[in-house]
Structure 1
Amino acid sequence: MRKMIMAAAAVLMGVSTAHATEIVIQYPYGELFNGTHQQIAAEFAKKRPDIKVTFRAPYDSYEEATQKILRESITKQMPDVTFQGLNRIRIMVDRNIAVPLDDFIKAEKNFETEGFHQAMFDIGTQQGKVYALPFAISLPIAYYNLDLVKKAGGDPNNLPKTWDEVFVLAKKIKALGSDVNGATIAWDITGNWLWQAPVFSQGGSMLNADESKVAFDGPEGQFAINVFARFVRDAQMPNLTQPDMRAAFAAGKTGIHFTSTSDLAKVTEMVAGKFQLKTHHFPDVKPGVGRLPAGGNLGVITATDPAKQKAAWEVMKFWHGPEGAAIMAKTTGYMPPNKKANDVYLKDFYEKNPNNYTAVSQLSLLTKWYAFPGENGLKITDVIKDHLQSVVNGQRAGEPQAVLKDMARDVQKLLPKTRS
């Protein structure tokens, strides 16, 4: 009898596997997320053998992710689930690519007990409907090499709270040697993220309320563009790529590095105990009005077949649920938006890993990562990046306000005419 039962089970398993619904996933930044998604997929397979998850080669960046999904929507070659930057849901909805999730959410019982909550839904909401769920959330933070801080006469227990203090310390660190960098900033992170951060930190915005006019050229933007110029003038920041900045910091050659929490796991691994690493808050966030843009990515269902959409929802529930979110937090520097992941699965994690808690302590400052409107939204991102590059490469570091004026003029030309 036992042999008969085992044989029957094997037959059923074979049938289940043979008829498993395949869900194809594509996500960005393989160097950060390959291990994460593989681990989540392995756990998901244990619970849902009736759904087979396969991965496409990762997108190189959020920009490539959006451009590729726009092309694939025309050729009908989209994956079933795509992970896009938080600031890209707007264009996904405008192009009728993202599948609304409201009916799936309403059909769930006790969804809140699994850590899903309104704030999660709000991040992926456009035009009154939920089109995406946030997967990984990041905020800008500072990374400090405490060994260099001490050598430069800084106090590891009283790290800079303002940009003035940052650049005073950076000068001292730079004076330690010609092969030492005082401070660097990953200024060209996708979507102008670290341009928005200092602007938002002062209470500013990218455009005015009806999105008809540039607003980043006011006092807040003037403050922000001067910060970028000071990295060159005061900190003598070298003209490095993001990976090279990360490598220089991890090698012990940079005292202060500003980037996303998403780099934390990778940087910690690269540092490998060569020096004492400490993360710290983003400087000069104006009390009461200052905010910081939430970075990271969200999951979007793009499958057009109803059966595929149903299976894709099961995948998203697990990926964004407490188990998937906890794996994501432990394997990256990102924060999980899922409440149960934080309260239950990661209860002791932040106590043992205080560097990961820095961004969590800034959650009250979180605001949306802004996406520019209209057909030229992606082009505006590139225009801003080009102008910022003229400052950080030293070419126009001596005239940041002129750069800001030119940047505002060029962005204004690309805004939708119907809004002007």
Structure 2
Amino acid sequence: MKPKPILLSWLLLSIVVLSGCWNSKELSHLAIVSAIGMDKLPGGSEYRISFQVINPSEISSGIQGGGGGRTTAVTVFADNGSTLFEVIRKITRKVPRELLFSHVKVLVIGEALARDGINDLFDTFERLHQTRLTTKVVIARNTSAEEILGVITPMEKIPADAIEGKLEFSSNLWSENLEYTIDDIIRALVSKGREPVISGVIVQGEIERGRKKSNVEMSRPDALIMVRGLAMFKDGKMVQWLDGDKARGVIKLLGKIKSSVEELDCGSKKDAVTVELTKSKTRIKTSMHNGKPLLEISIIEEGGLVDTKCALDLARMDELAMLEQRWSKRSAEVVTASIEAAQKQKSDIFGFGEALNRTNKLEWKRVQNDWNTLFAKGEIRVVVDSYIRNSGMRIKSFLQQS
């Protein structure tokens, strides 16, 4: 019996489909990159790009924490080039395996490069199929990205994991930093109504000793990577660092705050009451009046009393109301200071321009080309309603009994 032509065609097609993985790559031929660092070479247009590559034999050994293995958990390779893709190919002269970028967790940008401009950095990340737009982005503060990637970190064998973890928990619990990804930065760069802000990282201690494995073989490491501050950008270039209350004010205005700590005065005692912020909701509204923007901010926040250094009786509503008023006033001052700092740099990092575009597109089209200049002249109105919902395990402090 002769096979039917249709059946024969399907059999021939199945041979093509089941021909195997034509582009497969052996794991033993791949080098997993956990972080990428980008720096600007002085006096030219070339970049210094570094790759934090995982040493598979050290990770697979099952040794936890800092020391004990034969080598460090990562090796940093670096080379120079005009583009990221050029260096990816050029670095093959130094790395005995093909680089794999699908596990990159952190992109570190050197401060010198950030101040020179970051508009041209992210095109390759959008085009390459291996790289992820969910990769976290940080700025190496007062140092280079290559120096940051070279520090051996305690508790986490892979330094990229340590940076990602510190960024996550600092953003969630302290709220002076942001977990911004490559995609977030690209969206801010292409928007005419918002400028990007990026968290900073520093090396606390001696960088030279931080590169050695002995850094994690002692209870007090010689060098630590620490998350600190927010880098403010204008037209794709970094213009200023924001720290402390100003950084926290930015997080509140962006509606990204999840939890934080607020210190309030108690009578004549400064910062004698500690409140844990547990919930915050921000609304911003932008309108034009007499050719100037009116920037209206409404914040509702809640928290609980966690520490006092003075005798408080929260069973008395007047004392509770007094604390809430002080909290509202302090939050309004922090937010106002953050906006004023951005106005000095003529950089709308909060998205007031985007808010105007959402509510009045015709007005936005008229002012969008001069928005940063107009934003710097905008009138600020901040209304904060703060509520202390609980006082922990007791209402009256034991200090009242002394």
- Flag whether TM exceeds 0.5 (same fold): no
Query: Is the strand fraction higher in 1 or 2?
Result: 2
Select the structure with the greater relative contact order (CA < 8 A; seq sep ≥ 6): 1
Q: TM-score, normalised by structure 1?
A: 0.24
Q: TM-score, normalised by structure 2?
A: 0.25
Query: Is the helix fraction higher in 1 or 2?
Result: 1
